[in-house]
Amino acid sequence: MNKFFAGALLAIAATAVQAAEPASRYPDRPVRMLLPFSAGGGGDTLGRLLAERFAAHLKQPVVVENKPGAAGTIGTHAVATAAPDGYTIMIGGMSTHQLAPATYARLPYDPLRDFQSLGAIGSSSIVMIAANQYPANNLRELVALSRKNATPIQYASWGAGSTGHFCGEVLSQKAGIPLQHIPYKGTSQIVTDILGNHISVGFVDMVTATPFVKEGKVKALAVCTRRSPSLPDVPSYKEQGVDFDRELTWVMYVPAKTPKAIVAELSRVLETTLREPEVVSKLLSLGITAKYVPGPEQQAANARDIPMWKAIATQAKIKLD
Q: How many angstroms separate the Cα of 194 from the Cα of each of 188, 190, 201?
A: 10, 6, 7
pLDDT for the residue numbered 4: 43
Pairing of strands 248-255, 153-157: unpaired
Task: Give the single-character DSSP code of 313.
Answer: H
Contact 157, 201 (CB under 8 A): no
pTM of the model: 0.87
Average pLDDT of the residues of the chain: 92
ω into residue 225 within 30 of 0, thus cis?
Answer: yes
* Mean pLDDT, rounded, for 288-294: 96
Task: Give the single-character DSSP code of 152.
Answer: P
* Mean pLDDT, rounded, for 170-190: 95
Q: What is the CA radius of gyration of the chain?
A: 22
Q: How far apart are CA 267 and CA 252, in angstroms?
A: 9
Q: Which stretch of DSSP H or E encloses residue 126?
A: strand 126-131
H-state helical runs in 81-198 = 94, 100-103, 139-148, 163-175, 187-195
pLDDT of 187 above 50: yes
* Mean pLDDT, rounded, for 157-164: 93
pLDDT for the residue numbered 16: 43
pLDDT for the residue numbered 38: 84
Of 202, 205, 180, residue with least CA distance to 317: 180
pLDDT tens digits for 45-103?
999 999 999 999 999 999 999 999 888 999 999 999 999 999 999 999 899 999 999 99
Contact 63, 88 (CB under 8 A): no
pLDDT for the residue numbered 23: 57
Pairing of strands 88-92, 248-255: antiparallel
**Helices 206-214 & 187-195, crossing angle to 10 degrees?**
30
* Mean pLDDT, rounded, for 241-269: 96
Residues pairing with 203 in the sheet: 128
pLDDT for the residue numbered 8: 45
pLDDT of 173 above 80: yes
Q: Domains plus CATH for the chain?
A: 31-123+247-316 (3.40.190.150), 126-235 (3.40.190.10)
Supply φ then ψ for residue 181, to 5 degrees: -85, 135
pLDDT for the residue numbered 71: 82
pLDDT for the residue numbered 13: 44
